[in-house]
Each structure stands twice: as C-alpha cells, then as structure tokens.
Amino acid sequence: MPNITVLDQNTINKIAAGEVIERPASVVKELLENAIDAKATAVTVEIKEGGTSFIRVTDNGCGIPKDEVSLAFLRHSTSKIKSVEDLFTVSSLGFRGEALASIAAVSQVELITKTSTGLTGTRYQIDGGQERSVEEIGAPEGTTFIARNLFYNTPARKKFLKTPMTEGAHVSELVEKLALSHPEVSIRFIQNNQNKLHTSGNHNLKDIVYTVFGREIAANLLEVSVKKAEVSINGYIGKPVIARGNRNYENYFINGRYIKSSVISRAIEEAYKPFMMQHKYPFTMLHFSIEPEMLDVNVHPTKMELRFRDGEMIYHMVYQAVANALAHKELIPEVELEKKADEKQGFAAKKYAPSPEPFEKRRLMAMEQQAATEEKRETASLFPKRLTPPQPSFVKEKDDLADNWLRPQSQFQSQPPVSVSPQSLAPALDRKPEQLDLFDGKLLEPKARSMHKLIGQLFDTYWLVEFNEQLYIIDQHAAHEKVLYEKTMGTLKTMEYISQLVSPPIILTLNQNEEVLLKRHLKYFTDMGFEIEPFGGKEYAVRGVPANLFSIAKKELLIEMIDGLSEDGSSHNPDIIYEKVASLSCKAAVKGGHSLSAAEANELIDQLLSLENPYACPHGRPTIISMSKYELEKKFKRIV
C-alpha cells in the first residue's frame, strides 16, 4: 500500500483552483464580483485571445491597503466574513476567500491598487502562487488586476479549453449578466481591442436590456414590482411574442447575484403556460431582494445555486407576480404579409443609402404612386367623407417609446408635442410582428362589441372580424378551448361542481411516487368531485368524476394529471392542480373544419369577452391575430 503523505502547498492551491477556476470566464467572474463588492461605480474588463493570454479588470473601488495585498492572495483570506455565523447573513457576491489564491495558482498575476487615503499605490506580482515582487507605484484610486497565460503551469487543464472565440463568448455572456444584475455600475467590456459593451451605470435596467438584447426585446416588456416583508421582486418580463426555444432568456438575480433555481424557473413557466406555446420559454429580467437569513448560498463553489428557507412562499410569490403582470393586457399578435428589411442596416443607412434600382424603374414607381393619389382624390369627390373611428393612442405611444430609445437622455424633457396624422401612422404599422397593447379601443372590451363587423368564416375554422381599421382572425378551436378552460376553472374554484358516478370504475395502477402524490393531494381531487379509493395493492378505483369531465375522463388522462404534480412548491398550490384538471376539458372544444353559424360565432366572441385572458388557448396558441389595413393596402400597391 502506498504511503500516506501531506500534499505541498503548491499542489493544494492548484487543486483548489480547479474547483473555482474552470476557464477564463471564471477568472473574470471572480474579479468583476470583487470590483463590485469594493463599491466600484465603473469597471472595465479587457481580454485577449478569449482570456487565455490576457485578462485585465480595472475598477474605481476602495482599493487594498499595502499591508493587506499579499494577505489577499492566501487561501481563505477574506474581508467579507469573520466566523461561520456570518455565512448566514453574507450579502456580498464573493466571500470564500479562495478566488485570488486560485487565480494566482494557475496564472501570472500583476496587481496595482491604491486606497483613497494612501499617498501612493502598490504593485504586486505573483506567478503560479509564488510571490515575485512588491513595490510602491503611482496609481489612481481603485484596483487593476492583470492575469496572463492562464493554466501556463497546468498544461493538462489548458488542453480542455475551447477556441479563443468560444472562450471569449463565455466571458461576454458573463459580463452581460453582471451588467444586468448591477445597473448602478458602469461596465465596459473590451475584446481584442474592440469595445463590445458599455453600460451607463444610470440605474435604468431597461436601458441595459436595450443595450444587450436590442430594440425588439426592449419594446415588448411588461414591468413587475411586488414587495412583501422579507422579499421584493422588481424588473421586467417579456410579452409571449418574444419567447424563445430555450431558457437562455430566463434571467433572475438574487441580491445582485445571477442564480439558477428550479423553484423560480417553474413558477415563471407555470404563470406563462396559459399564454405560450409548449416548448417555448419566456424572457424575464427579474431582480430579487431577499433577506440573507432566508438563503443558503454556500451550496456550490461557483455560488450559482442556492436554497430557500421557504421555497413554497417564493414559488407562490413569483407565480403571482408574473401572472398579474400578464393579466389584463391585450396581447394580440399582429402579422405582416411580407418580410421586412434587415433592421441591422440601421435607420440612417435605410433612409439615405442610394437606391439600387435603375432610374427608369424608380420613375415608373413614382408615376404609379401619383396615379394612386389622384384616384383617391377623384373617389373622394364622388362620395361624401366617411367618419372614421379615432386612431388608437397606442401607435403614438409606441412610436414615442421607440424614438426615445434612439434619442439622447438630455432630450427627453424637451421633446415637442407630436401631431399624429394617417400618413404619420404608416411607419408605426410597418414593423416586425409585435404584440399590440391596446390601452384604448380594445377589440375585446364590452363597449367595443357593438363596433365589430363580423365578415364570415374562412376554411370552416377561422372567423374574420373588422374593427378599428384592423382585420382580426379568430381561431374557433383555440377560442372554444379557452372558453371551456376558464369556465371549468371557475367551477372548480367556486366548488360549483356536480359529481357523476363511473360504472365500471376506472382502475389506476400507480407506482410508489404516483401513489405518494395522489395521497398528498387527495383532498383537492375530492373537493373537485372525484371519488377515488384504494382497490388493493398498487391499484386505485375512480368511481366518480366531475360531470363536465365525464365524457373525456379516461385512464391515460388521469395518470397524466397525477404525473404532472411535482415535489416542489407548485404541488401545494391548488390553483395549479385545478389548471391540470381544467386542461382536460379542452378535449371537448369544437374542432377546426367544423362549420359554425354566424349566431354561434357571435356567441363564442361574447364568451371570449368575459374571460380574463382571452388571447391564448391553454396550450399557449394564440386565439386571435390581427392585420392592419395599412399592410393590406401595401400588398395591393395602393401604398408604395
């Protein structure tokens, strides 16, 4: 048997570095978090070759006193905590005291730092964990940390790094997340001598969302702001139209730290479920402020995961906050008939770039446009003017919002009044598809019902409605699904159900996990009208079901409903259980291809009017889409 020996300090440091420093992004994360903890208001991150050869992080924070510089590079040296009890109240981003020691163990490090009270700064060099020099130097207040040749002394680990482009992308993503988590700090990111990101540090989260994600995301946000005794949630969530096929746009920060949490993620996705297609995920940018006593962040070396003292309370609060932000908004997607020019060309390029079309073609187009204008004038002289309903104010509001993103901050207060004419509305309607937020003139407001013009049924599936210079297209199957769903939900919540006996009973064979879930939630099922009792062994007999589910309550659907329950906080929310039951009622909805009469269609629209969320079926498909009059006129060349 080999002899047991104690490892030397150099080997210990390299092993510890492997737990904290996985790639260049890990170095940037630790240094950027240290800068923010040092109360910096401006930080610059610069990398070369993906961070493998050069990383520099400069801040204007409090700096490190000269006599503490070498101490900062010892393992488990930290200014954040003094004892084990402090772990339960720590509020800084870093606190373990391993970061600088780990970075210095696997790279060549140079540190320049100065405090506000120091006459001179300190320059400190340490390579591979071995101190090289300490000297006085002239320096501005703050800290500059340079790490060169990452993993130069551990070539086996260096082989596992990806290409410089890939490693640089990881650093860029990390810097963006930290910029979004701290809108009060101005953060600049330079990659291979090129500026990639620069935030203002003006505390405006929406400005940073625009900088990082672009105009389309920033224009489709809903604000979230709730507060309870120990928890507050502030930020933005995206309208369903900007959903993505993965969870990369689900961002939430707890006390300034980017976190992944299954509790929060499930709450967000459950709240979005009635509004979104399956396998689509929302955009969220939520900041949580939670008392440190309610958290345990000392779970993982990267501090990416945490535990909540009361996960169920957090789940319910997040679910309600997101659901309330989505409620009572008219979220009808507007569609277009042709693809728009690439927005990346920029406004100036599109407006002033010379046309590639020959002169003769442009001249003919001008003549056609003039002819169309004269035709309109002739028609106007033959017929009296029609009174047209006022244009909805959302167009002007959206234009103002879009313009403000492009306008310097100083011009916000001095903006002159904007006059809106039918011609000035054209650019607002000529856009990429986005969700309408009709604060005035909503299609599904009861007072607007008398102004609807029901045109007819298309393909025995879609109903066409004209209103307010928009063509609305209603999917009868999706609409009926939503009507049945909300009707069932209302019945379950008010306990106004009728139970109907099933003969012979439905026999369910459950595994151990399913049996535990059924027993835990049996009261809810009983309250809803189910009669379920043990039938021996692993089997249970369903002898009664809610009357409105009688025709569709099959064995497979009941098993699916039980499997949908989970072990986290959502399983204790009766509303979530009710929703799983109510979703079964959608099987009875009228299908596409079934011809409805105009009276039946009007009745369906009337029922949609009474719903809290009429814009998407329970599976997330839209019930209604719209198309502008302007878009149709463009397609028929009435507008060129």
Sign of CA dihedral 284, 288, 294, 299: positive
Band (pLDDT 50/70/90 cuts) for residue 54 is very high
Highest mean pLDDT among 63-77, 172-186, 487-501: 172-186
Confidence at residue 293, expressed as pLDDT on a 0 to 100 scale? 83
Confidence at residue 279, expressed as pLDDT on a 0 to 100 scale? 79
Q: Does residue 387 register a pLDDT over 80?
A: no
> Which residues lie closer than 8 Å to 207 by C-beta, 6 or more apart?
183, 199, 200
Q: Does residue 213 register a pLDDT over 60?
A: yes
Q: What are phi and psi of 432, to 5 degrees?
A: -65, 155
Phi-psi region of 468 (alpha: psi -120 to 50; beta: other; left: phi over 0): left
Instruction: At 609, list the tokens.
Output: 């009017």
CA angle 512, 515, 521 (to 5 degrees): 145
Q: What percent of the chain has pLDDT over 70?
A: 68
Angle between helices 476-493 and 574-584 (to 10 degrees): 140
Closest by CA position to 329, among listed 227, 424, 419, 434: 434
Band (pLDDT 50/70/90 cuts) for residue 229 is confident
> Hey, is 53 helix, strand or coil?
coil
CB 609 within 8 A of CB 446: yes
The H-or-E segment that residue 624 falls in is strand 624-628
DSSP per-residue letters across 166-213: HHHHHHHHHHHHHHHH-TTSEEEEEETTEEEEE---SS-HHHHHHHHH
| Window from 127-131, 312-316, 351-355, 502-506 with minimum mean pLDDT | 351-355
Band (pLDDT 50/70/90 cuts) for residue 290 is very high
Band (pLDDT 50/70/90 cuts) for residue 411 is very low
Q: Does residue 252 register a pLDDT over 70?
A: yes
Band (pLDDT 50/70/90 cuts) for residue 338 is low
Band (pLDDT 50/70/90 cuts) for residue 141 is very high
Query: Using only C-alpha atoms, what is the Rg of the chain?
Result: 31
Band (pLDDT 50/70/90 cuts) for residue 588 is low
Q: Does residue 282 register a pLDDT over 80?
A: yes
State the average pLDDT over residues 614-637.
85
Distance CA 302, CA 581 (A): 40
> Which residues lie closer than 8 Å to 98 by C-beta, 6 or more apart?
16, 19, 20, 75, 76
Q: What are phi and psi of 628, to 5 degrees?
A: -80, 155
CB 251 within 8 A of CB 286: yes
Q: What percent of the chain has pLDDT over 90?
A: 31
The H-or-E segment that residue 320 falls in is helix 311-326
| Window from 3-7, 183-187, 348-352 with minimum mean pLDDT | 348-352
Confidence at residue 236, expressed as pLDDT on a 0 to 100 scale? 96
Highest mean pLDDT among 262-276, 397-411, 523-537: 262-276
| Residue with the larger pLDDT of the pair 99 and 160 | 160
Band (pLDDT 50/70/90 cuts) for residue 483 is confident
Confidence at residue 527, expressed as pLDDT on a 0 to 100 scale? 78
State the average pLDDT over residues 81-109.
63
Segments of 116-185 assigned E as strands: 121-127, 130-137, 142-148
Confidence at residue 567, expressed as pLDDT on a 0 to 100 scale? 46
Express each pLDDT in 150-182 by its tens digit: 999 988 888 889 999 999 989 999 999 999 999
Please give the torsion angle defined by the CA atoms of residues 472, 475, 476 and 482, in that order, rounded to the nearest 10 degrees.
-100
Q: What are phi and psi of 585, to 5 degrees?
A: -65, -15
Instruction: At 225, list the tokens.
Output: 């702001």
Cα 356 from chain centre: 40
Cα 342 from chain centre: 24
Half-sphere exposure of 530 (CA within 13 A, CB side): 24
Q: Which residue has the tokens 């990101």?
A: 197
Q: Does residue 40 register a pLDDT over 60?
A: yes
| Residue with the larger pLDDT of the pair 437 and 454 | 454
Average pLDDT of the chain? 76
Q: Does residue 257 register a pLDDT over 70?
A: yes
Q: Which residue has the tokens 């009469």?
A: 597
State the average pLDDT over residues 364-371.
52
Instruction: At 197, list the tokens.
Output: 């990101």
State the average pLDDT over residues 111-140.
93
Q: Which residue has the tokens 């630790």?
A: 30
Instruction: At 37, list the tokens.
Output: 């903890």
Helix ranges (H only) for 95-163 are: 99-105, 155-158
Cα 89 from chain centre: 29
Can you name the residues that pair with 428 across neighbouring β-strands? none
Confidence at residue 175, expressed as pLDDT on a 0 to 100 scale? 95
Instruction: At 546, list the tokens.
Output: 């809610």
Q: What are phi and psi of 110, to 5 degrees?
A: -130, 130
Distance CA 237, CA 287 (A): 11
Highest mean pLDDT among 287-301, 342-356, 439-453, 523-537: 523-537
Half-sphere exposure of 470 (CA within 13 A, CB side): 26
Q: Does residue 407 register a pLDDT over 60?
A: no
Please give the torsion angle defined by the CA atoms of residues 81, 86, 87 and 90, in that order, rounded to the nearest 10 degrees.
-70
Angle between helices 311-326 and 262-272 (to 10 degrees): 30
State the average pLDDT over residues 91-101.
59
| Window from 13-22, 259-268, 598-607, 619-628 with minimum mean pLDDT | 13-22
Confidence at residue 521, expressed as pLDDT on a 0 to 100 scale? 81
| Window from 30-39, 119-128, 170-179, 612-621 with minimum mean pLDDT | 612-621
DSSP per-residue letters across 221-270: EEEEEEE-SSEEEEEEEE-GGG-BSSGGGEEEEETTEE---HHHHHHHHH
Band (pLDDT 50/70/90 cuts) for residue 51 is very high
Q: Does residue 188 register a pLDDT over 90?
A: yes
CB 524 within 8 A of CB 577: yes
| Residue with the larger pLDDT of the pair 59 and 279 | 59
Half-sphere exposure of 190 (CA within 13 A, CB side): 12
Band (pLDDT 50/70/90 cuts) for residue 451 is confident
Band (pLDDT 50/70/90 cuts) for residue 530 is confident
> Which residues lie closer than 8 Å to 4 by C-beta, 6 or more apart?
none
> Which residues lie closer than 8 Å to 95 by C-beta, 6 or more apart?
78, 80, 81, 86, 87
Confidence at residue 548, expressed as pLDDT on a 0 to 100 scale? 65
CB 517 within 8 A of CB 507: no
Measure the N-to-C terminal CA separation of the chain; round to a whole number of Å: 87
Express each pLDDT in 538-554 by its tens digit: 889 999 987 766 766 67
Q: Does residue 344 register a pLDDT over 50?
A: no
Segments of 315-366 assigned E as strands: 332-333
**SS3 per-residue string spanning 357-377:** CCHHHHHHHHHHHHHHHHHHH
State the average pLDDT over residues 44-49.
96
